[in-house]
Copies of this chain bind each other. A is one copy, B any other.
Amino acid sequence: MDEFSLIQQFFSAAAINNGVVLGIGDDTAIIKAVEGEELLFTCDTLISGVHFPVDTDPYAIAYKALAVNLSDIAAMGGQARWFTLALSLPEADPDWLEGFSNGLFALANQFAVSLVGGDTTRGALSITISVIGTIAEGQAIRRSGAKPGDDIIVTGMPGIAALALAELQGSIKQAEADSVSSRSKLDFPQPRLLEGQFLRSYASSMIDISDGLAADLGHILQASGCGAILDTDLLLESHYTDMQLPADRIIDSILYGGDDYELLFTVPGALTPMLMKSWDLTFPALTKIGEITAGEDLKILDSSGNVIDIALHGYNHFHDRKKQ
């Protein structure tokens, strides 16, 4: 089977009517710009053995490759609209491609985002997806808007995906149910697009947690010229209470684990009660975990009220990345 047949067979799903003037099959896609909208443009690469274990199901690989990109649109408060897929493959295995395209379109259809172009090449397995989203002019939530006194809030349970990875690597053992649910969070991160759009009315700054809560909060602090104080008890007491792992191990995973793609954002303190009251019950729970401060330090209080001195080490591809 040749390259063109491959693309046609697995990736030519009818484009959702979504401003797509011309989809796959020409030199470029043609899509419609709308007055008063801004475009959000991002790309992310996933490489086998670095971003996912080499034996990962192709359905999950595709799902995650798209999810991490949609998550970047979510972190701006935008709507994901169109994407391209650059797929490098060691061989053209129809079974693998079928699983991959099923995973890709499962997520794409869920959020009505249209595949409009791509490129297939022979090489080591890697996937680069580029997404364009849209948002009303001036409404995007940047990293740079945090102010002293803002509350720091996070969606869901960051750190869980990293526990699955630690278990895969043999460094921890979880209860059976936690093992299954954490692996699901690692393989099928849920881009918080609806949540991000909801937060446009509240958040002063926002980021998605890919590198670990500490490092990603560090990006907000650096962009905003602020400091912060986090209370690790606030992180633990609402959730994680049924887990059998030591609290320190869980907190370590929350702060440094990453790969969950939960939203981390700041809200002016006066708006927090209204946000908590109006938050959609179908969304993952919100947890206030700290406050933005003047200055430049990130201080973390442990359960005894002592300050943990943290280095913002997070995820770094050329420095200290844990290979999968």
Q: Which residues of A approach B to under 8 Å, CB–CB? A: 1-4, 6, 21-22, 25-35, 37-45, 47, 50-51, 72-73, 75-76, 78, 82, 84-86, 88, 91-92, 116-124, 126, 128, 130-135, 137, 140, 142-144, 206-208, 223, 316-319, 321
Query: Given A41-B82, A43-B130 in contact, is the A122-B317 Cβ separation under 8 Å?
Result: yes
Q: Are A128 and B43 within 8 A (Cβ)?
A: yes
Question: In the assembled complex, which residues on chain B have CB atoms less than 8 Å from the CB atom of A318?
Answer: 1-3, 6, 91-92, 120, 122
Q: Are B76 and A27 within 8 A (Cβ)?
A: yes
Q: Are B316 and A2 within 8 A (Cβ)?
A: yes
Please name 11 further chain A to chain B contacts, defined as beta carbons within 8 Å, in addition to the given A26-B76, A30-B135, A47-B122, sorted by A numbering: A3-B316, A26-B223, A28-B40, A28-B42, A30-B76, A30-B140, A33-B35, A43-B130, A47-B88, A92-B318, A124-B124
Which residue of the partner chain, among B1, B32, B142, contacts A22 with CB atoms under 8 Å? B142
Question: In the assembled complex, which residues on chain B have CB atoms less than 8 Å from the CB atom of A130?
Answer: 41, 43, 84, 86, 128, 130
Which residue of the partner chain, among B41, B82, B122, contacts A29 with CB atoms under 8 Å? B41
Question: In the assembled complex, which residues on chain B have CB atoms less than 8 Å from the CB atom of A140?
Answer: 21-22, 28, 30
Question: In the assembled complex, which residues on chain B have CB atoms less than 8 Å from the CB atom of A319?
Answer: 2-3
Q: Are B38 and A317 within 8 A (Cβ)?
A: no
Q: Are B121 and A50 within 8 A (Cβ)?
A: yes
- A142–B318 Cα distance when bound, in Å, is 42
CB distance from A180 to the nearest CB of B (A): 29
Query: Given A50-B121, A122-B50, A130-B130 in contact, is the A32-B39 Cβ separation under 8 Å?
Result: yes
- A118–B41 Cα distance when bound, in Å, is 10
Question: In the assembled complex, which residues on chain B have CB atoms less than 8 Å from the CB atom of A119?
Answer: 43-45, 128
Query: Given A45-B121, A47-B121, A317-B3 in contact, is the A88-B30 Cβ separation under 8 Å?
Result: no
Query: Given A43-B84, A132-B41 in contact, is the A317-B120 Cβ separation under 8 Å?
Result: yes
Which residue of the partner chain, among B42, B86, B124, B223, contacts A128 with CB atoms under 8 Å? B86
29 contacts between A and B (CB under 8 A): A1-B318, A2-B318, A3-B319, A21-B38, A27-B73, A27-B206, A28-B41, A28-B72, A28-B75, A28-B131, A32-B38, A32-B137, A39-B132, A41-B117, A41-B130, A42-B84, A43-B86, A43-B128, A45-B88, A45-B119, A45-B128, A47-B121, A50-B121, A50-B122, A50-B123, A84-B130, A121-B317, A122-B317, A124-B126
Question: In the assembled complex, which residues on chain B have CB atoms less than 8 Å from the CB atom of A6?
Answer: 318
Instruction: Considering the complex, give the chain B residue whose CB is closest to the CB of A45.
Output: B86
Question: In the assembled complex, which residues on chain B have CB atoms less than 8 Å from the CB atom of A123?
Answer: 47, 50, 124, 126
Question: In the assembled complex, which residues on chain B have CB atoms less than 8 Å from the CB atom of A40?
Answer: 28-30
Question: In the assembled complex, which residues on chain B have CB atoms less than 8 Å from the CB atom of A4?
Answer: 316
Question: In the assembled complex, which residues on chain B have CB atoms less than 8 Å from the CB atom of A3?
Answer: 316-319
Q: Are A142 and B33 within 8 A (Cβ)?
A: no
- A38–B37 Cα distance when bound, in Å, is 13
Q: Are B317 and A27 within 8 A (Cβ)?
A: no
- A121–B40 Cα distance when bound, in Å, is 22
> Which residue among A27, A39, A51, A223 has the maximum number of chain B CB atoms within 10 Å of its CB?
A27
